[in-house]
Structure formats: C-alpha cells, structure tokens
Chain A
Amino acid sequence: MLNIYFGNMEEAIYDPSMYFRNQYEEKWIIDEISKKIIKEIDNSKVIDKKVIESPVLGSITPNDLSGGAKTLILIAHDKKNIFNATTCGENCASLLLELAKKREVNINLRYIMDFGEGEFKIKIKNSGKIVKNMNELLAEATKFI
C-alpha cells in the first residue's frame, strides 16, 4: 500500500536529487523498473548503467534524469528512507501506485498529487485514514496541506 505523509516531514529526505547524486547504485539503472521509470517519465532509453539516451538532450548520465525519475528510482530501490516525492509530477502517480502494489511504500508529499479518476488504496499517515478515491483523498489531505 502507498502511505503518504502530507506537509513538512523532518525525517524525509527533502532533496532526493542531491541524495540520488551521492547514493545511487549503477546496477539500479539497468533493472526493469528503472528502465520503465526512465521511459515513462523522461521519455528516455537506458543504454547501459552509465548512459541514457534522451530525445532532447542526447546522451546523458543518470544524474541528468528529471527530479521525478530520480525520486521514483530511489523509492523503488532504497527501502530504508522516506523521500520527499514533491519532486514527482502527476505523471508519476501511476508508477507510485504500481510500486506500492508489491510492498509498503512510504513517501512525503508537500502537494496533493492527483491519482486520477479510478479507485486506489492510500493511507494518509497524518491521520491514519485510508482513502479510496480522489474525493476522499482531497477531503482528508486538505486538512494537512
């Protein structure tokens, strides 16, 4: 399940891009979930663990990925930390829900991400309430943010 803490969260990694720059592992880049994230979010293709092909920028390194892609890769691979996923745009919502299908995923959000029209299961950590659609999420999350 996806667990979200809305608003300022002291223990969350506030700047995931900086954390990624110093902590990512090359093997992460070439696994299937990272390839999918990089394809869906940055419209780019993983060539090898050090090189990614961007349609706009040409050959780039993992550090040049978007903030959203880097944060999702961290969420997928670094299970001990909670990341500020405000760096993830709303095009990251479906991938966050997908990552949370397999395990408990904890994130911090400082804006209300739109998870779309469908049903989902998200726990608002501020109150402990589980919400199942965007109307329920908005009613609960706007209390905190």
Chain B
Amino acid sequence: MKGEVKINIHNNKVIYEFTLKRNITIVRGKSGTGKTTLYRLVSDYMKDNKGSGVKITMSSGESCIALSDTDWENQIKKIKNSVVFIDEGFNGFKNGKSINDFIRRIKKTDNYYVVFSRESFEEIPSSVEEIYEIETSKSKHTFKKFYELNKSHRLNVNISKKDNFILLITEDSKSGKQFFKEYYKRTDMKVDSANGNSNIISKINENINKELMIVADGAAFSPYIDNVYKICKHNKNVNICLPESFEWMILKSGILKVKQIDETLNNSSEIIDITKYFSWEKFFTYFLEDITKDKKLLKYEKKKISAYYLNEKNMKKIAAVIGL
C-alpha cells in the first residue's frame, strides 16, 4: 500500500472514521474508548462480509483484516495490499522471540498495520506522529494524535517560549552529533550523543537535574516515546524535539536546490516504498545521499558530514527547522 488510506467502518450503533498515513499505526490510550469494538467489527466483517452487518469502505487497498491469534503466521503470508488490525493480547507480542518472528514476517510486506497496544516494541520502530487514541463523539469514533508535536517538532509538554537548556542530547552519534557540536561550538551549550535511541532514557536519567533538550528521529521513535513523554511530564526541565530525522531537517531547510525535494517531502506517504523502507528515516537518508552523490561539495555522508552543511548560513537554516 502507498499513500493515505481513508477508512470508514460501521454497524448500526457505532461509526469509526480515520486516515492511515504510514505502514504502522499504533492506537493506545485510556481503557473503554472502543479499541476492542473496532477490532471486533473487522473480525465480524471477515467472517461474512455483507452478512456480518458491518460495512467497511476504504479509499484504497484490498481489504481490512483482523489478525487472529492462532494462525497469524499463515494468515500474514496470504495478506497483500491490506490493512491489518492487531488487538491487545496478540500472541505474536508475548515475548521477545515472538516479536522478532512477527517483525521478520511483516517487514517486506506491502500492508498497513494498525496495532492496539500500550506496550512499546523496540523491534517495531515507527513514527511518533502515527500514534493515536480513539476519540468519541456520540456514536462516532475518530483517531486523535496521542503525542502532539508543535510546528518546531517539540513534544507538546513543557514548552516554554524561550529555550534555556544547557545540554542537548542527540540520538545520532554521527552526522547529527557533528552538526550540533559545530552549531553550538562558540556557546556554553554542551552536546552529547546517546549513541542510539535505546540509550536515550539512560542518558536522560544521568542528567535528570539539568535543563535538557533531546533531539531524536521522530520517524522511528515510537518504542521510546511513552517513557520519554512521562519523564518530560514529571520533570519540567526536560524537553524533546522529534523531527522525522536529521537528514529530513537538511532536506527541509532549503539549503539544497534540488527540484524533487519539495515533492518528496510533501508526498512522502505516496512516494516511500514500505517494502524497502520500513520506517521513513531510512528513506530520507537514502534520498539525501542519492540526490547529492554526484555533487562534490554537497555530497552527504552519514558517517562524516561535509563542510557545506557546517557553514554558518546553512547551519542556521538547518537548525531553524526545529526552532533552534
């Protein structure tokens, strides 16, 4: 599947209306909001489409599938170009071994997956922008973003008008870290790297009493966002900024005059092949490397950022993407 998919699922009591934008959508939130009811509607529809009393319309894609507990491995093999719903208590999420098996089986498929779970899976990196809760107004249920990011991609908790952090922690240990080190070279600001998303929590805990700004790839931060959100909520000195990725910041900054950038960023959902790029940050790295590969000065390499991206004018434009 590619692009946005609008879905309407209803019976004579409830209506669910939502739009999916990427291959993985996570639905969490309070108990009693109707997650299991949505799963049941899809499950009933699968048993006897019209005869179920459930109606489903999709703007694209073949069908909606409720993944069963007992035969999901075989089920996955047969599902193509569809939206797959996975309920809480799914057997494939029971332990690390089964999650790895699940991820191995879905990684190169062209389906979209809607996962009802409060548990975060390191093995399933997806976007913080595609985590929702169900909002109900009378009988109509819609998806509402669970973690709101503002225009500067800051998580909408602890936002102050002026940045007063003294330590910036980046998930990126290569080009992103090199960039922020250079950007803050002539200031008192310290820049450190967590060397990967999975170390961010321990890095925050080490520095919990300082004014902190965390910068990480929003496109793949779903496994960590819930813990970080709660740390931010209960520690007013911790802020987090989640652009899609560092490469996306460069693309978005306007410092590269390449025709297809705007089109690619504005239509990422239509353009990114999910069978090749499970999460979008990998695509943005590939795309930036690809469009600059034949340009001597502009050539982008993840391991060592070139001088072009570190000149003062360009650094300001890149940092401005996240309001720094």
Q: What mask results when residues 86 to 104 of chain B are scored 1 for a CB within 8 Å of chain A, else 0?
A: 0011010011100000000
A47 located at the interface, meaning its Cβ lies under 8 Å from any Cβ of chain B in the complex: no
Total chain B interface residues with beta-carbon distance under 8 A: 36
Q: Across the interface, which residues of B come within 8 angstroms of A86, CB to CB?
A: 88, 117-119
Q: Across the interface, which residues of A come within 8 angstroms of B35, CB to CB?
A: 66-67
B261 located at the interface, meaning its Cβ lies under 8 Å from any Cβ of chain A in the complex: no
Enumerate B112-142 residues with CB–CB distance to A below 8 Å. Answer: 117-120, 136, 139
Total chain A interface residues with beta-carbon distance under 8 A: 35
On whether the beta carbons of A66 and B32 are closer than 8 Å, the reply is yes
Enumerate B201-246 residues with CB–CB distance to A below 8 Å. Answer: 201-202, 205, 208, 226-227, 230-231, 233-235
Pick the contact of A145 from B69, B139, B227 — CB < 8 Å? B227
Closest residue on chain B to residue A116 by CB atoms: B234
Pick the contact of A14 from B28, B94, B117, B226 — CB < 8 Å? B94
On whether the beta carbons of B13 and A111 are closer than 8 Å, the reply is no
- Least Cβ distance of B135 to chain A in Å? 13
Q: Across the interface, which residues of B come within 8 angstroms of A135, CB to CB?
A: 234-235
On whether the beta carbons of A112 and B96 are closer than 8 Å, the reply is no
Enumerate A101-145 residues with CB–CB distance to B below 8 Å. Answer: 110-112, 114, 134-135, 138-139, 142, 145
On whether the beta carbons of B13 and A112 are closer than 8 Å, the reply is no
On whether the beta carbons of A114 and B230 are closer than 8 Å, the reply is yes
On whether the beta carbons of B89 and A67 are closer than 8 Å, the reply is yes
Enumerate A69-96 residues with CB–CB distance to B below 8 Å. Answer: 69, 84, 86-92
On whether the beta carbons of B205 and A17 are closer than 8 Å, the reply is no
Closest residue on chain A to residue B118 by CB atoms: A111
Q: Given A18-B89, A88-B31, are A57 and B118 neighbors across the interface (CB < 8 Å)?
A: no
Q: Given A86-B118, A87-B88, are A68 and B227 neighbors across the interface (CB < 8 Å)?
A: no
A2 located at the interface, meaning its Cβ lies under 8 Å from any Cβ of chain B in the complex: no
Q: Across the interface, which residues of A come within 8 angstroms of B3, CB to CB?
A: none
Pick the contact of A139 from B89, B96, B205 — CB < 8 Å? B205
- Least Cβ distance of A137 to chain B in Å? 9
Closest residue on chain A to residue B201 by CB atoms: A142
Bound Cα distance from A91 to B231, whole angstroms: 18
A43 located at the interface, meaning its Cβ lies under 8 Å from any Cβ of chain B in the complex: yes
- Least Cβ distance of A131 to chain B in Å? 12
On whether the beta carbons of A87 and B208 are closer than 8 Å, the reply is no
- Least Cβ distance of B254 to chain A in Å? 38
On whether the beta carbons of B139 and A56 are closer than 8 Å, the reply is yes
On whether the beta carbons of B32 and A41 are closer than 8 Å, the reply is yes
A53 located at the interface, meaning its Cβ lies under 8 Å from any Cβ of chain B in the complex: no
Q: Across the interface, which residues of B come within 8 angstroms of A16, CB to CB?
A: 89
Enumerate B27-86 residues with CB–CB distance to A below 8 Å. Answer: 28-37, 69
Q: Across the interface, which residues of B come within 8 angstroms of A66, CB to CB?
A: 31-33, 35-36
Q: Given A56-B136, A138-B227, are A110 and B34 neighbors across the interface (CB < 8 Å)?
A: no
Closest residue on chain A to residue B29 by CB atoms: A89
On whether the beta carbons of A69 and B32 are closer than 8 Å, the reply is yes
Q: Across the interface, which residues of B come within 8 angstroms of A138, CB to CB?
A: 227, 230-231, 234
- Least Cβ distance of B309 to chain A in Å? 34
Q: Given A18-B89, A56-B139, are A112 and B30 neighbors across the interface (CB < 8 Å)?
A: no
Show 7 A/B contacts (Cβ-Cβ < 8 Å), sorted by A.
A15-B88, A17-B36, A18-B89, A56-B34, A67-B35, A86-B119, A89-B32
Q: Give the 4 A-B residue pairs with the shortest CB-CB distance, closest first.
A: A68-B31, A15-B89, A89-B30, A89-B31
Please list the residues of chain B having a beta carbon within 8 angstroms of any beta carbon in chain A: 13-14, 28-37, 69, 88-89, 91, 94-96, 117-120, 136, 139, 201-202, 205, 208, 226-227, 230-231, 233-235
Please list the residues of chain A having a beta carbon within 8 angstroms of any beta carbon in chain B: 8, 14-18, 41-43, 56-58, 64, 66-69, 84, 86-92, 110-112, 114, 134-135, 138-139, 142, 145
Give me 5 other A-B pairs in contact (C-beta within 8 A), A42-B31, A56-B34 excluded.
Answer: A67-B31, A84-B89, A89-B31, A90-B30, A110-B119
